[in-house]
Structure 1
């Protein structure tokens, strides 16, 4: 169902090869349907290759190469998971700086599954209540986060979820957080 809840909001989706496909496509669809303008941003200049749970999937066009992306052009950030994607992003200085700029500017961020690996590198996990794929529990605790095993957690402008199984709750809370950040009221679910 289309909505104007996020009309006028520009959302950056930061990924590289190996992002979990459904963790990008489903939130992107929900954001687009809520009226947001989403942009796939990547260190890869032309296209990125998705992962579909156990194997490579299709490629997606990059809307804005990371090298030319300006965080000031975006109101919010989405960090999909997958194991390969956030592991590569957290080693990319420009990707970490791009993500960190959203936390520094107190713009809302949504991250699912292994996506918090990138957040750990920004230093923004410290002092936040978060969830993630269970194998990140120790990493997040070591980064100063209060890790909990819940389908979705919202804390200090950040929404996190464990996995694609939590997608309905993740999408609902992401849209609510992003709408609240813009002073809009999200519709009741």
Structure 2
């Protein structure tokens, strides 16, 4: 199982990247760090700089193939991370391709902003950081305040969670959805 983790060059909430990443590795999967630029991504612990992580692929590198070769997509949060991703047309197209191909997508916290921009929440039920509820509703989705929400009512499975405190449930739901891939 090969899982893409899409993050911006700066602003990803570190634990929302590293915790699911380790869960995928522990399950025998291959996580791949994808970003909008080559080099390293700067992670954060809320507003404080944390560690950096090497980018393996860029969305430009994958423009011709999109989601091909991946079994799922994980979108970690952090406020700045999805805010940057949603302004990058290649990143938005990359996300949309997972939905087009019917592949599982998992998003936590503010990452739902990228889903809104990709226009893939219409008719779906999801959760996120509470301040995104209006954005999700305005995009045609239904927002719920739950630790983890698995939505199967669409072209693919969508796993969402609200915050870092939900990571254990998020990781378990992610692995459950990709284990048969």
Calculate the TM-score normalised by the size of structure 2. 0.93
Match of 1:162 in 2: 162
Distance 1:40 1:140 in 2: 26
- Distance in structure 2 (CA, Å) of the matches to 1:112 and 1:123: 17
Preserved CA contact (<8 Å) 1:125 1:143:
yes
Pairing 1:112–2:81 present: no
Aligned position for 1:52 = 45
Question: Normalising by structure 1, what TM-score?
Answer: 0.90
Q: Which residue of 1 aligns with 2:134?
A: 138
Structure 2 unpaired stretches of 5+: none
Q: CA deviation at 1:160?
A: 0.1
**Equivalent position SS for 2:87:** coil
Map 1:61-80 → 2, pairs under 5 A: 61-69=54-62, 70=65, 71-80=67-76
Which of 34, 41, 62 pairs up with 2:34?
Answer: 41
Shift of 1:66: 1.9
1:85 Cα deviation from its structure 2 partner: 0.4
How many residues of Structure 1 are paired with residues of Structure 2 in the alignment?
173
Distance in 2, matches of 1:22 and 1:104, equals 28
Write the deviation string for residues 19-56 of structure 1: whole angstroms up to 9, x where unpaired: 00000000000011011111000012111100111211
CA contact (8 A) 1:46 1:65 kept: no
Q: Tell me how far apart the structure 1 counterparts of residues 158 and 47 of structure 2 sit (CA, whole Å).
A: 28
Query: In structure 2, what is the Cα distance between the partners aligned to 1:177 and 1:124?
Result: 18
Tell me how far apart the structure 2 counterparts of residues 74 and 46 of structure 1 sit (CA, whole Å).
21
Q: Check the 8 A contact 1:45/1:66 in 2, yes or no.
A: no
From 79, 85, 88, give the equivalent of 1:92: 88
- Partners of 2:55 and 2:34 in 1: how far apart? 6
> Partners of 1:88 and 1:32 in 2: how far apart?
27
Secondary structure of 2:68's counterpart equals helix
Moved over 2 A (4+): none
Structure 1 residues without counterparts, runs of 5 or longer: 1-8, 183-189
1:11 correspondence with 2:7: no
- CA distance, structure 1, for counterparts of residue 79 and residue 47 of structure 2: 11
